[in-house]
Amino acid sequence: MLTVFPILALVVILVLLVLSERWINRHLQGIWLLIFRDPDVAMITYSLTMLPGVLLHEASHWVSATVLGVRTGRFSVFPERTADGHLRLGFVETERTDVVREALIGAAPLLAGATILGGVGTQLLGLGAIGAALAQGDLADALATLPAVFGAPDAWLWLYLLFAIGNAMLPSRSDQRAWLPALGLVIVLLGILTWAGFGGLLSDWLAAPALAATVALAGALSVALFINALALPLIWLLEVLLVRLTGLKVDY
């Protein structure tokens, strides 16, 4: 049986990541607007800042659609404003397909981003040691590990890349469109199999992989959340300085 704690931890981490991503995206655009005082230039500069993450996001859609046999159309990583006024950093056109494949294509950027975050964060930057210390409630040990993270080879380059990926991998509304129908289909299928007497077998087969996937995803997203926690005060401080220097203020 999948324990409740990993699921709760994943939900909490995901909520905090979404909130921090929204704040960072708004205020980064605000910083570029304060610097250039031109909305179009600010939008382009912001998109260039997030380009590694946007490229991975859209490439993940394209690769997953191709693998699943879904035809693709135009591919773009250039920013544009949608009809409702939102900023769209990139897109991939795909043909309409069944809800299962559409849900998998929509989830591809999150899975690809989490894989890179988990691999680079733990293997190259040693963030796994910080996570382990925090999991044990040892804040002092976690803080003592920080110098090793910043002292890793090319640490600042990796931190920037993970920052861009972590703040561009979350699914858009269109990415999530098929998730609820697909989830309903899975629940119905599992219900039918359980009713047919395969409940115990399903539990034996799925419990361990589901738990491992939940823990791995929570760990990867915690890397993104950790990097955002480092970036938030720096972005806030830079914006405060620019407001004082320019005498201007951005209304969000």
Write the CA distances from 122 to 33, 50, 211, 228, integer angstroms.
35, 22, 19, 16
What the block records as the tokens of 63 is: 């690769």
What the block records as the tokens of 201 is: 């077998």
pLDDT at site 137:
58
- Answer yes or no: is pLDDT of 9 > 50: yes
What is the 8-class DSSP label of residue 203? H
pLDDT at site 93:
82
Longest dimension (CA), the chain: 70
Q: What is the pLDDT of residues 45-91, one digit of tens each?
A: 998 999 999 999 999 999 999 999 999 888 877 777 666 656 677 77
For residue 94, with 0-12 CB atoms within 10 Å meaning exposed, 13-18 middle and 19 or more buried, which class applies?
buried
Which residues touch 195 (CB under 8 Å, ≥6 apart)? none
Mean confidence (pLDDT) of the chain: 84
Q: Helices 4-36 and 39-49 sit at what angle, rounded to 10 degrees?
A: 140
Q: What is the pLDDT confidence band of residue 131, given thresholds at 50, 70 and 90?
A: low
CA dihedral 180, 185, 187, 189 (to 10 degrees): -170
pTM for the structure as a whole: 0.85
CA dihedral 217, 220, 221, 226 (to 10 degrees): 150
Placement of tokens 């044990």 in the chain: 136
- How far is residue 95's CA from residue 88's CA, in Å, rounded to a whole number? 19
Q: Which amino acid is at 73?
A: G
pLDDT at site 215:
79
pLDDT at site 1:
46
Which residues touch 162 (CB under 8 Å, ≥6 apart)? 116, 117, 120, 121, 125, 223, 224, 227
Q: What is the pLDDT of residues 20-43, one digit of tens each?
A: 999 999 999 999 999 998 888 888
Please give the residue that has the higher pLDDT: either 79 or 229: 229
- Answer yes or no: is pLDDT of 129 > 80: no
Q: What is the pLDDT of residues 132-182, one digit of tens each?
A: 665 565 566 666 777 777 777 888 899 999 999 999 999 888 888 888 888
Q: What is the pLDDT of residues 103-123, one digit of tens each?
A: 999 999 999 999 999 888 888
